[in-house]
Each structure stands twice: as structure tokens, then as C-alpha cells.
């Protein structure tokens, strides 16, 4: 199987979308990243990544219904597609495989 | 709580620069993030972050979301409804145009369907047998003389020696017999003898009776359901008896299902071969050198499927033949059963064969007629494109893309073609009886037949796509701005294309016209050709029943009556003479057994009655007692034997077993269809009978027939009186050509008619477009004739081009067809000229309606509106 190409940040965003499970949009994704990694990212980076992920077919988006919050402006909510899910599991499996291949010494050395 | 607001100017910047299609969500997100940081970190940091975020979503940093704008699908129910509505409105609003279009298409389709039915029928011959692919007919040829028959001993002999041959069936030639059941006496023509395994090899089912034993008993007979109904009024006739030839009684052993119309074997009754073996020497001796039977061989699957294996079998057959001591130089062929109907050009064959050439020709004609009809559609739709230009423009402005428009117009032409299909099927139903008469075939259109239905739908879809493709591409290509500003001009390229289409139509029409003319000319040529004897007023009476035994009495009574005294007795009619031998020896012969010599047995009156011409020597004469071993030959035979008029008479000639001398040479006369070249002929003195041919005088035919009838009644009371006219039989030889002629005529007429429908539409449109011009011209003093000429000139030019293109095509095609005849009419230039003039005339006539109407119009009316 062809390995799915996902950048580091893309993977992070994709994971966040998966975690948020239907409530993912620009704000929540930015906040989650900030909370879990401590990284402060510009909104533009998140916004661009979301668009790119959608172009790659890992997520789909939909404009949520108009609300009274944010001056009636709609949110664009993101959902992971099947392709996105399989990409995430692929990455995880690969990582796991690679970890098992690693000699114990290396790990210890690294851990020191 | 008061929602904190980010700096205004940053928001303006955002609104101004951020991509339009994501501004809503981004603005909202940024506001939310601002509020969040405001609460967590305070205003200063929140503003800082906000500004940073804004910059990060401004070009060049921001990624643009591709437009996810979804146009309404072409296939959405609303759009489909709209398409249908518009299509229907167009059909209804432009009634004349729609009628022209649908009429053209439906007539074209009806033609194609009829032709396809016919072609399908022709191609289906003999495919219904279970083992059709394994069955072959053994045929042989000696030089150019190819024949369908083989010898009686071959089927059994070859099967015994060659393991590849699983079984062999012999069938006799058709032998007419007098059937008698009670009071009913009819001469049945479609009767033959067949080997006992006939029903096992061929798939002709029995309604009742035992397939395995039905043809074993020599006293048995099988009759078809139809025959049974004819004689007994019921198909339940097993065990009843039929008296045949006023001589033998046969017991009906089984009832056959009527022979399918697409079988080359057509029969009303079949008699076991054993019956024939009682009196036939060929069968008793299992002869290998008398070729009188049709032999069908069933090969095993492996051999039947491979050509090299078949070649090997043929080689083996030749070897077996040689090993039998046969020194005749013969080539054998295995003719696939399914090829017999269409690919057979053999002599001494069963009657009623088709011709693959005609199948191909008609297929091409069918395609052309359909194309002509499609061209009509294309022409009319593109010509009227201006009417729809506004619609196209508007649709494009509202957001239709080109594919949608193409889809719409293709869909519209499909609606037209399906409407036409329905009408076409109606026309086919109406025309089937006429077509049946023309082709003498029982064709049926069965709409429940899935294959047929599929091909009909196929035709409709093909027609729709073909005729709709150009208009769809053309119409959908309009630039909306131009058409909505009414600056559309009929493009030159479009006009050129349309003209090319009109030219194509007329090329097809002219070629078909020339074809019709040539077919008729050739038929006429054949009918009028001097056959070497005078064929008119020749009445014949076959010697059936007791007449054969009472020849002296017959001759005496014929001679007594002045109406019939001019008679001769010959062995067979010179229509399609079927027999010949290569066992001929003459003075000065160089190689034996090379040429096939057909022979006729004629009596002393032959030359006088047939009005044939003696070139040298004399005819048979009662005054010469030795004439029973004398021969007459024809010119061709004389040339073949290397003699000339001076030295031929008196040379010795051995024909079969009888050695004799040549006493005379007759001018060549035709004794076969004119499709065959003249063959050498030997005439012997008739000692056994055959057919009485009487030359009557013109006008006394009726009385002569009555006189013959009386003679028959006296001498041959048990048999019904049968007679015929030789010239009619001769004409019947060219039945298939005649059929071809009339079918060609029909379709040429229809092709022209369809072309004219299109031309009519086009001329109407042109006249309409030029209304103003005509008005101005008339005001300035143009005459009506001048105007008509002006309008007709454009079309005339096209027709002239069509004539130039069509002439060589027609010339070539018809020459090719004529090559199939040994005697051909000449293809003269005036035939093509005539067709061209006819086509031009019809076209001008068609155009004249509209152009005269336009030219007569009062200019005040056409000019007032502006």
C-alpha cells in the first residue's frame, strides 16, 4: 500500500479533528493544539492546513447553520473521512512497527 | 458579558484582502479566538495575537479554498424537467420543422429496420440446427464447373474410412410427385428422399412419430404439418396412407414441423432413401462416379473448428476417391452448412439461394439512408440555430457550462429519435406486407424479442447521438455576449459544413438512382437478349405419369391437332439445365476428362420448333436410321473440341458409352441462366421422353392449352394437367435480381424523399431569412423568375457538386455488380446523366415551393415591420 503523505503539522491537525469528533473548526483546533502541545500557532497555519487536508481528501467540511454567536457568522465544521482515518491508522501502525524494530539499547541511550 | 471587539482597521483589512469564499468562517473564528485570548491574557496580548492571526490569513500566506460552488446538476430532476419542457415547447412551436425532422428520421429508421430484418433473416439461415457448425456439404468442382452434388457411395464410403467424419446424410434432388389422398390429387414439388439418419443430423423436429425409426421403413413417408392439414384437415395423420404417382401406397410414419423459412432445405414431404434404392442404380451400386445426391457430412468438433484439419480431410477424401479407381480430375470442397444459403454459387443446387453480395449492398444502403435522415436533422437544427441562440446565451449567463448544453441538445435529439422510432415501428408494421411481397419472405417484427428490441434501441440511440452531435457542439459553442447582443452571424464554417451535408445526401440519392436504373437496365437486357432460340409462345407439358409410356399415342394425338402439331420432345427445359458429364471423347482430343459437357436429348423437330439455327450439317432426321448414335453439338463445343464449321461434321464423338458421329452444329443457345457463360453442349436423339414443347401461334395460346389438356385427360387421366410457358420460366430465373431491383427502387425513392424533406426545410428557412432582401430586390424591380432563380441557385450549385462526386462512385459500384453476370448490359453515360437530371429536377421542384412563395410575397409586408 502506498504510504500516505502527511506532514507533521497536518498529522497533528488531523488528529485533533478526530479527537474533536464533529466539533472541529478553526477555533477549537487551534485551542486544542495549544492546550495539548503548548505550541502557539497562528490561525493562518491552522486554516491553511485544514484547506490542504480537505484538498487531499482526509477531511470534509460543512458550513454549520447560522447561529447567534459570532454575529451570526457560520462555522466551518470538519470531519475526518474514511481516507483520513485509514491514513491515521497507517501512520500509527508504521510507527509501531518501527518501534518494535528498534534495538533496546538505542532506546535506553536515547532515554538517558 | 460584553463581547470584546478587535481593532476595526484590522478587520477592514481582513475583509478587504481575505479570499471571498472563506471570509465568513475566518472572520468568525478570529473573533472567537480574540475573545478567548482577551479573557485569558488580557487586551494587549489578545490584540497582538489577533493582528498576527489576521496577517497569517492574508495573501500571500493564506491558502485559497478552491471554489466549492456546486452548479445544479444536469441530471437533477428540476433540470431534466426543464429540458423536457423546452424540448417539447420547441417541437410544438415549430410544427413544420418538427414534422419534417420526425418524418425524415422515422422514414429513415423504418427503412433501416426493414432492411435489418431482411438481413437478419438472410444471415440466420440454417443456424437453428443443433450442430450447425459441424455440418458441411460435400461439393465438387471440375475446373469452372462447380456443383453441389456428389456421388451416392461417398457418404457411406468416406464415413467408413475417415474417423473425422461422424456421420453422413444423403438427400436426393427434389423430385415432384403426384400425391393422392381420397379424391384429392396434387403434384407436390418439394419432396425428396433422405437417409435414415436425416432427422438425427439435422434438427427438424417431429410433431409425432419416432425420430429414430421414422425414415427406416421403405414404405414410409414423413409429411409436414401443413401438408397433413392440406390432405386430412388435421395434423393427426400418422398411420394413414398416401398414394403416390398413382402407383405406390405410402404409410405416414410421422408428422414434421413445417420446414423453417430460414432453412435451405425446404420440404413438404420426405421419403426414406431405401424406397429410392429399390429402383435407383446409383444407390444399389453405391456408385462413386455418378453425381446425383447432396451429401452432408458431420465432422467432429475438433475438425469442424479448424481450417487446416478440414484441408486434411479434403486431401484424404481426394485420396479415397482416387483409390476407388476414379480417374476423373475433381476437386472436393467442404461447404459449411451455414454458408449454403448466402455463399453458394454452385450448379445443380437446391433452389432459392440468397446472395451475400445483396446482403452487403442492402446493409450499406440501410446505413446510408439512416445517415441521410440524420443529415436532415443536423441541417435543419443548425440552420435554425439562430432561433435558439438567445436561449443558449441566457443559459450560459445563468451559469450553464458547455457540457450541460451539449447534454441538453443531445437529449433533445434523442427525444426526436425515440419519437421517430415509435413512428418507425408503426411504419414497419404497415410496410411489412408490401415488403413481404417484394422479398417473398415471411419477415416478422417481434417486439418482445430482447435482441431485436435492443438493436432497435441501439438504432435510436445511434441516430440520436449522430444527428444531435453536430448541433449540440455547434449550439453550445455560442459566446453569450455575442448572441445576446444579437450580433450572431451564421458562421462561414457552419454554412460550409451544412452544404457538405446536403451534397452528401444527394450523392447517396444519385448513387441509389443510378443503381436502380442499372439494375433495371440489366434485367431488361437479360430479358431481351437473344437466347439463340425464339422463346415466345413455347408451351410445355411435362411427361408425367402414364404419358411417358404412351409416347407414340401422345405424338400421334399432338400431330393430329393443328394447334399443337408443331411440337418437339426434349429431355429438359433450357431454363436451368442440370446435368453434364466429362466422359466425352472426340477426334483429336488431347487430354481426357477435362471439360464438363452438358447434354440435351432432343427429337427431330427440335431445330424447327425452337427456331434455333443450324450452322453446319443437319439436324436429327427420321430419314436417317443411324441417328440414334449421332450427335449434334453447339458452337462452343465445336471450339472446345478444336474443330471448325468446315470439318466438324462427320467427326466421331463418344459420349458416355455410345460412339457416334457429329452430324450438325447448332448456333449457341442459352440453356442456363445468363449468369453463366456459354458452355459446350452435346445434343443426342431423344429416345425416352421428358417434356413436350409446343410452339403455338400468337393468340392461340388458350386453345392450345385446352387441346393439350384434352390430350392429357385422354392419355393420362390419373394425373392432373400441368403446363407452363417457357418465357415465364425464363423470367423467373432472374427473380432475385428482380427483387433486388424493386427493393432498390423503393429505397432509392425513399432516400430521395428524405433528402427532399431536408431540402424543403432548408429552402423554407433560407427564404425566411432573406425575406427582407427579397422585399428590397422586388421593390427595386426584380422579377419573380429572377428571384426564384436567385433562391434556387445556391442549391443547384450543391446538387451539381453532388453529381460530380456521385458519378464515379456509381460508375464503379455498378460495374462491380455487373461483373457478376456473364452477359452484361453496357453502363452508358446517359444512365448517370438521367439520374442526375432526375435528382436535380426533384430537388428544384422541392425548392420551388418555398422560393416561389417567397418571390411572390408582397414586399410591403416584408418591409413594413421595420
Alpha-carbon dihedral B376, B382, B388, B393, rounded to 10 degrees: 150
Please judge whether A43 and B29 are an interchain contact, meaning their C-beta atoms are less than 8 angstroms apart: yes
Q: Using the structure block, give the residue that is written with the C-alpha cell 425452337.
A: B610
Average pLDDT over residues B381-405: 82
pLDDT value at residue B296: 94
Distance from CA of B23 to the nearest CA of A (A): 10
Q: In the numeric block, which cell numbers belong to residue B256?
A: 414434421
pLDDT(B325) > 90: no
How would residue B2 be classed by pLDDT, with cut points 50, 70 and 90?
low
pLDDT of residue B491: 52
Assessment of whether the complete model's pTM goes beyond 0.90: no
Distances from the Cα of B270 to the Cα of B128, B199, B211, B281, B295, angstroms:
19, 10, 13, 20, 16
Across the interface, of A30, A48, A74, the residue whose CB is closest to B25 is: A74
**Which CA distances in Å does B366 have to B370, B747, B812?**
6, 9, 19
What percent of chain B has pLDDT above 70? 97
Length of chain A: 112
Report phi then psi at B303, rounded to 5. Answer: -70, -40
Instruction: Provide the pLDDT confidence category of residue B453 given band limits of 50, 70 and 90.
Output: confident
SS3 B74: coil
Contact B567, B711 (CB under 8 A): no
pLDDT digits (tens, 9 = 90+) for B101-120: 899 899 999 988 888 888 88
Q: How far is B346 from B669, CA to CA, in rounded Å?
A: 21
Measured between alpha carbons, how far apart are the two ends of chain A, in Å?
Answer: 36
Q: How far out from the chain centre does Cα B535 lie?
A: 31
Assess whether pLDDT exceeds 60 at residue A39.
Answer: yes
The predicted structure's pLDDT at residue B75: 66
* A87 has pLDDT over 60: yes
What are the residues of chain A with a beta carbon less than 8 Å away from any beta carbon of chain B? 25-27, 30-31, 40, 42-45, 47-48, 51-52, 54-55, 63, 69-71, 73-76
User: B102 vs B328, which has greater pLDDT?
Assistant: B102
Note the pLDDT tens digit of each residue in B205-243: 898 888 888 888 888 999 999 999 989 888 888 888 899
* Of the partner residues B24, B33, B63, the one whose CB lies closest to the CB of residue A30: B33
Contact in structure between B711 and B330 (CB atoms under 8 Å)? no
* ipTM score: 0.88
Q: Which set of grid coordinates corresponds to residue B724? A: 407452363
Record: contact B25-A51, CB cut-off 8 A: no
Report the pLDDT value the prediction gives residue B70, as an integer from 0 to 100: 56
Spatial separation of the C-alpha atoms in residues B327 and B811, rounded to whole Å: 46
Of A27, A45, A54, the CB nearest to B33: A27
Mean pLDDT of B618-636: 84
Contact predicate B25/A46, CB 8 Å: no
pLDDT surpassing 50 at residue B1: no
Q: Which residues make Cβ contacts (< 8 Å) with residue B491, sequence separation at least 6? A: none
DSSP label at B642?
T
Q: Which residues in chain A have their CB less than 8 angstroms from residue B58's CB?
A: 44
- Using DSSP bridges, classify how beta strands B206-208 and B248-256 pair: parallel, antiparallel or unpaired: antiparallel
Q: Assess contact for B349 and B140: CB atoms under 8 A.
A: no
- Supply the mean pLDDT for chain B: 85
B481, with CB counted inside 10 A (0-12, 13-18, 19+), is exposed
Query: For B434-494, what is the HEC assignment?
Result: HHHHHHCCCCCCCCCCHHHHHHHHHHHHHHHHHHHHHHHHHHHCCCHHHHHCCCCCCCHHH
> What pLDDT is stored for residue B382 in this prediction?
78
Q: Which three cell numbers stand for residue B109?
A: 429508421
Least confident of B57-71, B484-498, B584-598: B484-498
Residue B179 and residue B242 in contact, taking contact as beta carbons nearer than 8 Å:
yes
What pLDDT score was predicted for residue B793?
A: 86
B814-817 contact pairs (CB < 8 A, 24+) = B814/B514, B814/B515, B814/B518, B817/B357, B817/B361, B817/B515, B817/B518, B817/B519
Residue whose C-alpha is closest to residue A45's, from A58, A34, A60: A34
CA distance B79 to chain A (A): 25
**pLDDT at res. A85:** 92
Which residues does B contribute to its contact with A (CB < 8 Å)? Answer: 22, 24-33, 36, 49, 52-53, 55-58, 61-66
pLDDT at B489: 58
Residues on chain A touching B25 (C-beta within 8 angstroms): 25-26, 63, 73-76
Enter the DSSP assignment of B348.
Answer: S
Q: Do A43 and B56 touch (CB under 8 A)?
A: yes
Q: How far is A14 from chain B (nearest CA, A)?
A: 17
Q: How far is CA A13 from the centre of its chain?
A: 2
Q: B771-779 vs B735-769: helix axis angle to the nearest 10?
A: 70
Residue B507: all three cell numbers together: 450523392
What stretch of H or E contains B569? strand B567-570
Give A47-82 pLDDT, tens digit per residue.
999 998 988 889 998 888 767 777 778 889 999 999
Neighbouring C-beta atoms of residue B526, cutoff 10 Å: 23
Q: Which of A9, A40, A42, A78 would best serve as a mutation to test chain B binding (most B beta carbons within 10 A)?
A: A42
Give one DSSP letter per residue of B6-46, joined into a string. --HHHHHHHHHHS-GGGHHHHHHHHHHHHHHHHHHH-HHHH
Per-position b or e across B260-284, b if 16+ CB within 10 A of its CB:
eebbbbbbbbbbbbbbbbeebebbe
Which residues fall within 8 angstroms of residue B696, CB to CB, at 6 or more apart?
B537, B538, B539, B563, B564, B566, B704
Packing angle between helix B492-528 and helix B829-856, nearest 10 degrees?
140
Q: With cut-offs at 50, 70 and 90, classify the pLDDT of residue B192.
A: very high
Give the pLDDT mean for B450-469: 87
Q: Report yes or no: B190 and B223 within 8 Å, Cβ to Cβ.
A: no
* Nearest CB to A74 within list B24, B36, B65: B24
The three cell numbers locating residue B588: 483429336
Q: Are B661 and B651 in contact (CB under 8 A)?
A: yes
What percentage of chain A exceeds 70 in pLDDT? 88
Do A43 and B30 lie within an 8 Å CB cutoff?
Answer: yes
Q: How far apart are CA B393 and CA B482, in angstroms?
A: 8
How many CB atoms lie under 10 A from the CB of residue B646?
7
Q: Which residues contact B718 (CB under 8 A, 6 or more apart)?
A: B178, B185, B246, B545, B546
DSSP B659-676: EEEEEEEEPP---S-TTS
- Residue A40 CA to residue B26 CA, distance in Å, equals 18
Within 8 A by CB and 6+ apart from B660, the residues are: B629, B630, B631, B652, B653, B654
Structure-model confidence comparison of residues B461 and B861, the more confident one: B461
- Classified as helix, coil or strand, B164 is coil
**Strand B291-299 to B135-142 pairing:** antiparallel
Q: How far lies B80's CA from each of B207, B226, B470, B471, in Å?
A: 55, 55, 21, 19
Query: Among residues B440, B430, B455, B437, which one has the least CA distance to residue B366?
Result: B455
Whether the predicted pLDDT of A110 surpasses 80: no
* CA–CA distances in Å: residue B659 to residues B375, B585, B631, B632, B633: 70, 9, 10, 13, 14
Cα–Cα distance measured from residue B743 to residue B122, given in angstroms and rounded to the nearest whole number = 15
Residues of B in contact with A31 (CB under 8 A): 33, 36
Q: Per residue, what are the HEC states of B836-861?
A: HHHHHHHHHHHHHHHHHHHHHCCHHH
Alpha helices in B57-94 (DSSP H): 77-93
Would you state the pLDDT for residue B480? 82
Q: pLDDT confidence of B136, banded at 50, 70, 90?
A: very high
Residue-level pLDDT at B857: 81
Which among B856, B861, B860 is positioned nearest to B787, based on CA atoms?
A: B856
Please report, rounded to a whole number, the percentage of residues in chain B having pLDDT higher than 90: 11
Residues of A in contact with B31 (CB under 8 A): 70-71, 73
Does the beta-carbon distance from B56 to A47 stay under 8 Å?
yes
Inter-chain contact A44–B61, Cβ cutoff 8 Å?
yes
Indicate if the pLDDT at residue A34 is higher than 80.
yes
Residue showing cell 437473344: B530
pLDDT at B441 over 80: no
Q: What is the pLDDT of residue A29?
A: 92
Q: Is the pLDDT of residue B866 over 70?
A: no
Helix (H) or strand (E) segment spanning residue B146: strand B145-147
pLDDT value for B493: 58
Does the pLDDT of residue A112 top 80, yes or no?
no
Does the pLDDT of residue B35 top 50, yes or no?
yes
Q: Which three cell numbers stand for residue B621?
A: 432426321
* Residues B55, A52: C-beta atoms closer than 8 Å: no
d(CA B97, CA B83) in angstroms, rounded, equals: 19
Closest CA to B246 of B174, B178, B176, B175: B178
What is the distance between the alpha carbons of residues B72 and B185, in angstroms, rounded to a whole number? Answer: 79
Are B25 and A27 within 8 A, CB to CB?
Answer: no
- Judge whether B568 and B612 are in contact, CB under 8 Å: no
Helices (H), B286-339: 301-305, 307-323
Across the range A89-106, mean pLDDT stands at 86
Tell me the chain A residues in contact with residue B61 when contact means C-beta distances shorter than 8 Å: 44, 48
**What is the arithmetic mean of pLDDT over B411-419?**
89
Reported as a single tens digit per residue, the pLDDT across B777-808 is 888 988 888 888 888 888 889 889 999 999 99
Q: Confidence band (pLDDT; 50, 70, 90) for A1?
A: very low
Amino acid at each position: 500500500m502506498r504510504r500516505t503523505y502527511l506532514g507533521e503539522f497536518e498529522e497533528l491537525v488531523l488528529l485533533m479533528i478526530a479527537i474533536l469528533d464533529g466539533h472541529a473548526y478553526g477555533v477549537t483546533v487551534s485551542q486544542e493544539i495549544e492546550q495539548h502541545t503548548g505550541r502557539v500557532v497562528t490561525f493562518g497555519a491552522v486554516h491553511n492546513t485544514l484547506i490542504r487536508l480537505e484538498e487531499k481528501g482526509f477531511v470534509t467540511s460543512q458550513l454549520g447553520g447560522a447561529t447567534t454567536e459570532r454575529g451570526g457568522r457560520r462555522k466551518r465544521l470538519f470531519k475526518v473521512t474514511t481516507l483520513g482515518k485509514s491514513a491515521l491508522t497507517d501512520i500509527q501502525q508504521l510507527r509501531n512497527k518501527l518501534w518494535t524494530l528498534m534495538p533496546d539499547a538505542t532506546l535506553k541511550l536515547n532515554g538517558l | 458579558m460584553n463581547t470584546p471587539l478587535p481593532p476595526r482597521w484590522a478587520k477592514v483589512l481582513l475583509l478587504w484582502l481575505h479570499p471571498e469564499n472563506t471570509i465568513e468562517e475566518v472572520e468568525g473564528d478570529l473573533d472567537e479566538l480574540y475573545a478567548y485570548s482577551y479573557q485569558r491574557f488580557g487586551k494587549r496580548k489578545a490584540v497582538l495575537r489577533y493582528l498576527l492571526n489576521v496577517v497569517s490569513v492574508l495573501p500571500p500566506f493564506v491558502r485559497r479554498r478552491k471554489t466549492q460552488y456546486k452548479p445544479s446538476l444536469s441530471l437533477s430532476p428540476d433540470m431534466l424537467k426543464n429540458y423536457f419542457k423546452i424540448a417539447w415547447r420547441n417541437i410544438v412551436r415549430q410544427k413544420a420543422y418538427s414534422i419534417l425532422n420526425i418524418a425524415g428520421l422515422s422514414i429513415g429508421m423504418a427503412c433501416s429496420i426493414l432492411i435489418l430484418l431482411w438481413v437478419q433473416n438472410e444471415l440466420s439461415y440454417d443456424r437453428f440446427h443443433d450442430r450447425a457448425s459441424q455440418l458441411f456439404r460435400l461439393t465438387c468442382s471440375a475446373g469452372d464447373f462447380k456443383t453441389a452434388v456428389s456421388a451416392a457411395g461417398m457418404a457411406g464410403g468416406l464415413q467408413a474410412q475417415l474417423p473425422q467424419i461422424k456421420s453422413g446424410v444423403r438427400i436426393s434432388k427434389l423430385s415432384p410427385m403426384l400425391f393422392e389422398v381420397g379424391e384429392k390429387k396434387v403434384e407436390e414439388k418439394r419432396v425428396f428422399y433422405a437417409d435414415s439418419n436425416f432427422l438425427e443430423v439435422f434438427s427438424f423436429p417431429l410433431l409425432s412419430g419416432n425420430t429414430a425409426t421414422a425414415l427406416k421403413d421403405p414404405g414410409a413417408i414423413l409429411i409436414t404439418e401443413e401438408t397433413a392439414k392440406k390432405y386430412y384437415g388435421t395434423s393427426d395423420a400418422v398411420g394413414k396412407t398416401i398414394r403416390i404417382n398413382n402407383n405406390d401406397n405410402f404409410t405416414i410414419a410421422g408428422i414434421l414441423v413445417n420446414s423453417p423459412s430460414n432453412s435451405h432445405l425446404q420440404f413438404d414431404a420426405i421419403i426414406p432413401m431405401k424406397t429410392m434404392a429399390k429402383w435407383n442404380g446409383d444407390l444399389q451400386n453405391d456408385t462413386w462416379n455418378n453425381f446425383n445426391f447432396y451429401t452432408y457430412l458431420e465432422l467432429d468438433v475438433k475438425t469442424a473448428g479448424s481450417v487446416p484439419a478440414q484441408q486434411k480431410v479434403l486431401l484424404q477424401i481426394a485420396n479415397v476417391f482416387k483409390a476407388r479407381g476414379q480417374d476423373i480430375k475433381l476437386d472436393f470442397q467442404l461447404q459449411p452448412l451455414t454458408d449454403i444459403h448466402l455463399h453458394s454459387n454452385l450448379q445443380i443446387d437446391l433452389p432459392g439461394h440468397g446472395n451475400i453480395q445483396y446482403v452487403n449492398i442492402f446493409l450499406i444502403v440501410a446505413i446510408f439512408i439512416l445517415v441521410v435522415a440524420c443529415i436532415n436533422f443536423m441541417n435543419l437544427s443548425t440552420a435554425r440555430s439562430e432561433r435558439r441562440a438567445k436561449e443558449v446565451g441566457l443559459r450560459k449567463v445563468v451559469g450553464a457550462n458547455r457540457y450541460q448544453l451539449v447534454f441538453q441538445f443531445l437529449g433533445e435529439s434523442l427525444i426526436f429519435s425515440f419519437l421517430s422510432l415509435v413512428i418507425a415501428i408503426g411504419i414497419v408494421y404497415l410496410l411489412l406486407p408490401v415488403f413481404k411481397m417484394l422479398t417473398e419472405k415471411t419477415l416478422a417484427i417481434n417486439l418482445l424479442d430482447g435482441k431485436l428490441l435492443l438493436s432497435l434501441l441501439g438504432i435510436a440511440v445511434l441516430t440520436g447521438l449522430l444527428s444531435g452531435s453536430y448541433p449540440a457542439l455547434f449550439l453550445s459553442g455560442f459566446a453569450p455576449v455575442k448572441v445576446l447582443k444579437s450580433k450572431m452571424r451564421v458562421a462561414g464554417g457552419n454554412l460550409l459544413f451544412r452544404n457538405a451535408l446536403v451534397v452528401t445526401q444527394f450523392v447517396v440519392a444519385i448513387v441509389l438512382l443510378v443503381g436502380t436504373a442499372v439494375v433495371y437496365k440489366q434485367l431488361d437486357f437479360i430479358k431481351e437478349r437473344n437466347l439463340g432460340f425464339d422463346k415466345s409462345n413455347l408451351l410445355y407439358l411435362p411427361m408425367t405419369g402414364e404419358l411417358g409410356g404412351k409416347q407414340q399415342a401422345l405424338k400421334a394425338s399432338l400431330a393430329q391437332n393443328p394447334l399443337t402439331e408443331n411440337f418437339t420432345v426434349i429431355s429438359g427445359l433450357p431454363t436451368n439445365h442440370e446435368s453434364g458429364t466429362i466422359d466425352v471423347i472426340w477426334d483429336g482430343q488431347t487430354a481426357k476428362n477435362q471439360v464438363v459437357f452438358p447434354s440435351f436429348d432432343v427429337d427431330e423437330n427440335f431445330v424447327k420448333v425452337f427456331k434455333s439455327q443450324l450452322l453446319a450439317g443437319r439436324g436429327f432426321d427420321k430419314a436417317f436410321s443411324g441417328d440414334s448414335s449421332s450427335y449434334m453439338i453447339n458452337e462452343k463445343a465445336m471450339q472446345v473440341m478444336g474443330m471448325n464449321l468446315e470439318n466438324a461434321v462427320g467427326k466421331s464423338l463418344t459420349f458416355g458409352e455410345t460412339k457416334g458421329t457429329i452430324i450438325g452444329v447448332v448456333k449457341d443457345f442459352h440453356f442456363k441462366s445468363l449468369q453463366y457463360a456459354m458452355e459446350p453442349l452435346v445434343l443426342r436423339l431423344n429416345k425416352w421422353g421428358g417434356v413436350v414443347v409446343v410452339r403455338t401461334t400468337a393468340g392461340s395460346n388458350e386453345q392450345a392449352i385446352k387441346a393439350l389438356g384434352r390430350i392429357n385427360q385422354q392419355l393420362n387421366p390419373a394425373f392432373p394437367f400441368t403446363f407452363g410457358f417457357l418465357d415465364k420460366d425464363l423470367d423467373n430465373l432472374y427473380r432475385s435480381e428482380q427483387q433486388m431491383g424493386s427493393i432498390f427502387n423503393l429505397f432509392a425513392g425513399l432516400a430521395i424523399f428524405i433528402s427532399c424533406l431536408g431540402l424543403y426545410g432548408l429552402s423554407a428557412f433560407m427564404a425566411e431569412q432573406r425575406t427582407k432582401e427579397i422585399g428590397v430586390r422586388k421593390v427595386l424591380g426584380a422579377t419573380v423568375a429572377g428571384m426564384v432563380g436567385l433562391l434556387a441557385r445556391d442549391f443547384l450549385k450543391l446538387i451539381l457538386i453532388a453529381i460530380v462526386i456521385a458519378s464515379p462512385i456509381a460508375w464503379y459500384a455498378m460495374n462491380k455488380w455487373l461483373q457478376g453476370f456473364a452477359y452484361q448490359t453496357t453502363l452508358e453515360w446517359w444512365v448517370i446523366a438521367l439520374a442526375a437530371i432526375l435528382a436535380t429536377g426533384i430537388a428544384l421542384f422541392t425548392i420551388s415551393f418555398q422560393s416561389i412563395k417567397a418571390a411572390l410575397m408582397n414586399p410591403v409586408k416584408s418591409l413594413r415591420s421595420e
